[in-house]
Amino acid sequence: MSIEQRKMDIVRLIKDLDLPHSMYENAVDKYEALGKRLNDNGLECDIYPQGSFATGTVVRPIKNGEDANYDLDTVVVVHQDKADTSAESIKKTVGDIIAECKRYKKSPTEYDTCWTIDFADENGVGFNIDVVPCVPEDDSTLTRLKEKSSPQTISYVEQSVAITKKTTLTTYEWSTNNPLGYKEWFDEINSPFLKFSRDQRKIMFESRADAAEIEEIPSDEERSSLQIAIQILKRHRDVYFSRLNSDLKPISAIITTLAATVAKNADVNLHPVDLLAFIVEEITSYAGLDIYFESTGEYEQRSLILKHRGEWILNNPVNPEDNLLDSWNQSNGEQKAKAFFGWLKVIKENFMGAFILNDDSRFFSAMCESFGNDFVNQSEIRKSYCPPPKPVFPAKPWRET
């Protein structure tokens, strides 16, 4: 297979890890119904998708080595002044209304910042919806955040919210967050990539005789090369760290923020695999370098991950008080940093390196390692790359002493 064909097949593969169309519609119905229910019960609020659900970078997760239910995150912005209520009251009011709903088979589970509603399996694959209750951030906090923001990011601050955080069994606190601003930040970077892929698709449609039969993809379910590159990174991370049985896995926000930041300087016409190569190269080239320019008194703008006076820093682009690498500065932080850069090295060598292998089976083998053995072996692409497998003889390993 040519390198181009291999790249196309990887995109096909990753598409199968995205939220299926029917499930996407189902999930939207569910969270919209939840929003209506909250309002009908007197809680004036809006509900929005957030996280990977909002940025269109969902991939099917792996739990205990097996493909698991999708986790979809939403945020419920309650229309109340922060000063007139409390974190405890907001969290419990939302939780109580969800718990009273007889449509849900299981009671919601409370976590530090959210309620999780576990929906019954749908065609063997299910999803959970995490609901994060919050209120708009107060004026004094907004002023403080604006003071700390750069000119490029100040416009997002207005959308900051105060989410509830359960700190002990009985106490709750407010915590500043900005999921809506993050979506806007991401969408702005993603927009030219999305436009390019939409245009490409249009050209492809028009050149095909059966163009009229091809269904339009709903805009929320379109995927740009940037979104696909992030999905590849996330899936590779899940498989890599699951096999290592390690809790050092980098969170999705780190990956998405780094990828989108790098993508600002990338050509929009790059294939997702080439964009991924560019992203990984950029992150590893500049990460951890404490580059200080005496002439300007500023740090190099292209530095993505900074290590300043021994502290790892990756600022949340829409929340100046959030260092996404906080956990790297804690007890096993250096291990996390090491694991992260080790993982990027594996992507470069084993995943990117596989595209130039002569042998299709070897390429396929690298894809199994990258995206999960069972998933890749059960995919459509197997038969194009690998002869049918032979049965294995049973044998029990034994060690002398």
What's the angle, vertex CA 135, arms to CA 132 and CA 138, rounded to 5?
140
Q: How far apart, in Å, are the Cα atoms of 288 and each of 300, 310, 314?
A: 12, 10, 10
Region near other proteins per CB under 8 A, out of 158-166, 188-196, 283-291, 382-390: 382-390
Q: Is 284 in the site for other proteins (CB under 8 A)?
A: no
Here the tokens at position 231 are 């999905």
Region near other proteins per CB under 8 A, out of 84-92, 213-221, 338-346, 387-395: 387-395
Strand partners, 373: none
**AA letter at 334:** E
- Of the residues 40, 42, 64, 212, which one makes contact with other proteins according to CB under 8 A: 64
Residue 239 CB, shortest distance to other proteins, in Å, is: 10
Nearest residue (CB) to other proteins, 100 versus 374: 374
Residue 20 CB, shortest distance to other proteins, in Å, is: 21
How far is residue 284's CA from residue 21's CA, in Å, rounded to a whole number? 35
Nearest residue (CB) to other proteins, 113 versus 370: 370
Q: Is 356 in the site for other proteins (CB under 8 A)?
A: no
**AA letter at 286:** Y
Nearest residue (CB) to other proteins, 26 versus 377: 377
For residues 197 and 241, is the Cβ–Cβ distance under 8 A?
Answer: no
Q: Is 390 in the site for other proteins (CB under 8 A)?
A: yes
What's the angle, vertex CA 199, arms to CA 196 and CA 201, rounded to 5?
110
Q: Is 323 in the site for other proteins (CB under 8 A)?
A: no
Rg of the chain's alpha carbons, rounded to an integer? 23
Q: For 191, phi and psi rounded to 5 degrees? A: -50, -50
Residue 360 CB, shortest distance to other proteins, in Å, is: 10
Nearest residue (CB) to other proteins, 102 versus 383: 383
Q: For 116, phi and psi rounded to 5 degrees? A: -110, 125
- Of the residues 140, 361, 380, 384, which one makes contact with other proteins according to CB under 8 A: 361
Q: Is 309 in the site for other proteins (CB under 8 A)?
A: no
**Total residues contacting other proteins (rule CB under 8 A)?**
28
Region near other proteins per CB under 8 A, out of 118-126, 259-267, 340-348, 369-377: 369-377
Q: For 264, phi and psi rounded to 5 degrees? A: -60, -30
Here the tokens at position 138 are 């107060």
How far is residue 261's CA from residue 305's CA, in Å, rounded to a whole number? 11
Residue 314 burial (CB < 10 Å; 0-12/13-18/19+)? buried
Region near other proteins per CB under 8 A, out of 50-58, 213-221, 269-277, 373-381: 373-381
- Of the residues 74, 364, 370, 371, which one makes contact with other proteins according to CB under 8 A: 364
> Where along the sequence are the contacts to other proteins (CB under 8 A)?
64-65, 243, 361-362, 364-365, 368-369, 373-374, 377, 382, 386-387, 389-401
